[in-house]
Each structure stands twice: as C-alpha cells, then as structure tokens.
Amino acid sequence: MAESAITVPVESSPAWHLYLIECRNGAWYAGITNRLEARYAAHAAGNGARYTRANPPVRLLASRAYPDRSAASRAEAQLKRLPRAKKLAFFT
C-alpha cells in the first residue's frame, strides 16, 4: 500500500507587517516588511534603515499584519501622521 503525500497549503505571498520599534535614543521608528523577524534582526545588526544604523533599536514595540504591501504602506502613512501618544493605540 503506497503512502499518500500530505499537502500543506503554501501562501502565495507572505503577509506584510507594519512595525514600530523603540530606538536607543528614545525615538520610535516605523516601517513595513514582509519578513518581520529578519527585518528587525537587520536593524539590530546595523544593516537596516539609515536612521536605525545611527540609532539602534532597543525593542519591537508593536506590529500588525496586512494582506499586501499597499495596505501596509497606507497604514504606515496613517501611523506616521499620528502624535506619539496615539501611535501604540493604533496597533490595538
């Protein structure tokens, strides 16, 4: 009797994430990525954005998944327009 293969559905594209990190200087940095863990590691290693190379991240404050890059970009623009006091609430 032949064994049957198990089919695991594979997403055609990974979710995009809007993220907010706290930098060593106390500032918050927002960005988008489709590989959150790898992007944070790049920021921490000094290979991320110019801003985080000069101001290394301390911790990931929040993130939210979006279905595509366009939706994540729109959310990032909305987040960046908010005052600091309302940015964390954007993720809840």
Rounded average pLDDT per 10-residue block, the chain, 92 residues: 46 81 97 97 95 96 97 98 97 92
pLDDT value at residue 14: 72
Q: How far apart are CA 17 and CA 73, in angstroms?
A: 9
CATH code for the part of the protein at 16-91: 3.40.1440.10
pLDDT confidence of residue 12? 52
Predicted TM-score (pTM) of the model is 0.83
Token reading at 41: 């590691």
Read off φ and ψ for residue 63, nearest 5 degrees: -155, 160
Neighbour order of strands in the sheet with 16-23: 28-33, 16-23, 57-66
Model pLDDT, residue 3: 47
R_g of the chain, CA atoms, integer Å: 17
